[in-house]
Amino acid sequence: MSKLRIVNLTKRFNEVLAVDNISLEVADGEFVTLLGPSGCGKTTTLRAIAGFCNPDGGEIFFGDKIMNNIPPNKRNTAMCFQSYALFPHMSVWDNISFGLKMKKIPQKEQKNKILKIMKMLGIENLEKRKPGQLSGGQQQRVALARAIVTEPQILLFDEPLSNLDAKLRVQVRVEIREMQKRLGITSLYVTHDQDEALAISDRIVVMNRGHIEQLGDPYTIYRTPETSFVAGFIGLANIYEGTIVKRDRNRYIVEAPFGKITITSKNQKLPEASKTMKFVWRPEDMKIYTPGAPNRVKGQVLQAVFMGNITDIFMEVQGNKIRAQTDESRRFVTGDIIEFSIPEDVFSILRR
């Protein structure tokens, strides 16, 4: 049985349809991320699950129990907020123990639970400090400890790492994932950060304008996006439309704006009546051309950005802009004429 099930969830704010009839199941112990830009409905969905806003339609189940009319304090969820939401006048220990006190957990049991969680998160030496005496990373660990010490049925994260610097964000997301795996808590995580979602999730729900664009594991979402939105939102992408010249099962010869190419689709087939296709490939899939390689692309470098381990190249091919990334050690400069090849099997065909 699913730990969390959402059925046809809908939420409006006046004329704005924030969540548009979405359905989702999260298995016991699974880590699922709602990913999308601002205004896509991800936080509204999370708030509906927590009980902070009432849906206009649809149902929310924890196991086989419908939760729509259950108040937030009776739902056995815990949330980690972007702002940490720690009590500034309380010590670390008192912040972590707050939920246990509200549940009237015996004092000795409280102590054992708190010590265990603090040690797990590496904050056992901070118990007497106030939040104002902690770094951002330490505050987030305290907020996480406060959330999980009550052993919630479902753990909710609302962009918890947004206030941390880039390096610390990577470190804390690893800690969150390790902790979640160790404890086996069913978790729903909201973020607009694609790298964060790819690194931390069992599955990703890509949302756009209140609906689900695509749902799948991180590898599938990245390597075989189904729509232009998913392809463009997650990772870097070259998205084009071309005319189908010839087809043989899942192999297509396509007249693209930058030349004729061969595409071997690794996801869906197009209907037989289709005359055109929209397709995508990732810049890092392009290779420096060698004789005999497929899909030869010759163009002029518009800009080359050295990034240490790779060079990010923006090139013009027959009046079209294409982006490539290479780990070649040679130096590329504006004006260079370069040749790349695109392997046939790196393309994804897009539904829209």
The segments of the chain whose pLDDT lies below 70 read 1, 267-268
Domain with CATH 3.40.50.300 in the chain: 2-231
What's the CATH number for 2-231?
3.40.50.300
Indicate the DSSP class of residue 268.
P
Give CA–CA dist 227/26, Å, rounded. Answer: 23
| Predicted local distance difference test score (pLDDT) of residue 194 | 95
Q: What is the CA radius of gyration of the chain?
A: 24
pLDDT of residue 254: 95
The two counts, helices (H) then strands (E), for the chain are: 8, 20
With vertex at residue 30, the alpha carbon angle to CA 29 and CA 35, rounded to the nearest 5 degrees, is 150
Looking at the domain 236-350, which fold is it? OB fold (Dihydrolipoamide Acetyltransferase, E2P) (2.40.50)
108 φ/ψ sector (left φ>0, alpha ψ -120 to 50, else beta)? alpha
CA 27/CA 152 separation, integer angstroms: 15
- Supply the DSSP symbol for 345: G
d(CA 291, CA 193): 39
pLDDT for residue 267? 61
- Whole-angstrom CA distances from 111 to 93, 96, 134, 210 are 9, 10, 22, 43
Kind and range of the H or E run holding 107: helix 107-120
Q: Are 322 and 297 in contact (CB under 8 A)?
A: yes
Q: What is the pTM of this model?
A: 0.91
Reduced DSSP (H G I as helix, E B as strand, rest coil) percent helix, strand, coil of the chain, to 5: 25, 35, 35
Query: What integer pLDDT is reported at residue 1 of this predicted model?
Result: 56
**Quick check: 44 and 25 in contact, CB under 8 A?**
no
d(CA 46, CA 42): 6
Apex CA 54: angle with CA 52 and CA 60, to 5°? 95
Closest CA relative to residue 328, chosen from 349, 312, 316: 312
CATH 2.40.50.100 intervals, the chain = 236-350
Which pLDDT value is given to residue 270?
74
pLDDT of residue 14: 92
Q: Which pLDDT does position 347 carry in this prediction?
A: 94
Give tens-digit pLDDT for 50-106: 999 999 999 999 999 999 999 998 999 998 888 888 899 999 999 999 988 888 889
